[in-house]
Amino acid sequence: MATESSVRNSQLWAQDHPLPFGSKAPAFELLEPATGRKRRSTDLDRTDVLAVYFICNHCPHSLAWEDRLLAIARDFSDSVSSVFIDPSDPVRLLPDGGPAFPEDAPENVAAHAREKHFPAPYLVDPDQTVADDYAAVRTPHAFVFTRAAGLVYRGTVDDNEEDPSAVTTHYLRDALEDAAAGRSVRTPETPLQGCGIKRSADQYPGKRG
Amino acid sequence: MADPVSIEFLYEPDCSSTEVALARLRETCREEAHAGGIAMVEVTSDEQAAALRFPGSPTIRIDGRDIDTSGDGSERFALVCRAYRLPDGRITPFPPKELIRTALRDATRRRSVSLSAGR
């Protein structure tokens, strides 16, 4: 009998099967609501370093870190190709028939990308197929790849989501600097703080056993 | 003397706001000399969220009242992390300490007024 965590398209599966270090970036083709175009990962990967960020519009953790993530994507735009992916299911319904995540409807993702001047494509993954391929667990969840070494970083942004001025360790910036310089990433994995990525197939995604 | 106010902490286990928010609540309770405990309420389904009118994790209710009365006008009750606002307008997943403190003091004051009126 399959256990809950052995089922793909489950948040617990993703937690229990992190993408191994050294893996190549899983390929994807996803809609960019701001342009109405499908974007392929192979077309976005124009530098030696690729950063894939799972974020969303409804999660306060993601929103608290968002300006910093956008600044990082801008600051590293010469050496790092960045892409943002919203893995929320915009048609997930609540018991009253209303949408669970109206903020993540494609038109709202497009509006958000325009309003915040996203420096890189903001794509949608409404059935979490790509989130599963990356074993993304929370928003935000950052993945950094290099052509030479594959996955070199997975984790969070920094060590203080509420107060940017109180950050003492810039995990993601450090990882990108190391990756862009061809060095080993000093801290390859950091603990996640964020909203669980609800899989469409999960009824009670937060409940274990 | 009035009974201590009742405090409920409603949370979704999958939202990682719980630890910081609960620590903040406990610290504020200590500072305000709150003598009662904190009732923990785990919310694990959208159905339960609807039944409890749970707008997101964490939600703190003192004597049945939500500590954040600002609201965003939405009536969504779901398994989501809840957004709060810092005094400068930035979004945070954690209830600000001053919000907790103000709600705690207001509830204590209401209890005192109610006790006086009943004498």
Burial class (CB in 10 A: 0-12, 13-18, 19+), B86: middle
Question: What phi and psi, each to the nearest 5 degrees, are found at residue A95?
Answer: -55, -30
For residue B12, give its domain range.
7-114
pLDDT tens digits, residue range B3-34?
A: 789 999 999 999 999 999 999 999 999 999 98
pLDDT tens digits, residue range B57-100?
A: 999 999 999 999 886 556 789 999 999 999 999 999 999 999 99
| A97 near B CB under 8 A | no
**B47 within some domain:** yes
A200-204 long-range contacts (CB < 8 A, ≥24 apart) are A200/A9, A200/A89, A200/A92, A200/A127, A200/A128, A201/A7, A201/A9, A201/A10, A202/A9, A202/A10, A202/A11, A203/B45, A204/B44, A204/B45
Q: Which is more confidently placed, A152 or A99?
A: A152
pLDDT tens digits, residue range A105-121?
A: 999 999 999 999 999 99
**B1 within some domain:** no
- What DSSP string runs through B37-72? -EEEEE--SHHHHHHHT--SBSEEEETTEES-----
**B78 within some domain:** yes
pTM, two decimal places: 0.92
Residues A63 and A78: their CA atoms lie apart, in Å, by 25
Residue A142 neighbours by CB under 8 Å, 6+ apart: A51, A52, A53, A54, A69, A153, A154, A155, A156, A157, A172, A175
Q: How many domains does chain B have?
A: 1
| B21/chain A closest Cα distance in angstroms | 12
| B48/chain A closest Cα distance in angstroms | 10
ipTM of the complex model = 0.90
Taking the CB of residue B109, how many other CB atoms lie within 10 A of it? 12
Q: Across the interface, do A94 and B86 touch by the CB < 8 Å criterion?
A: no
> Which CATH number belongs to the domain containing residue B101 in this structure?
3.40.30
**B2 within some domain:** no
| A209 near B CB under 8 A | no
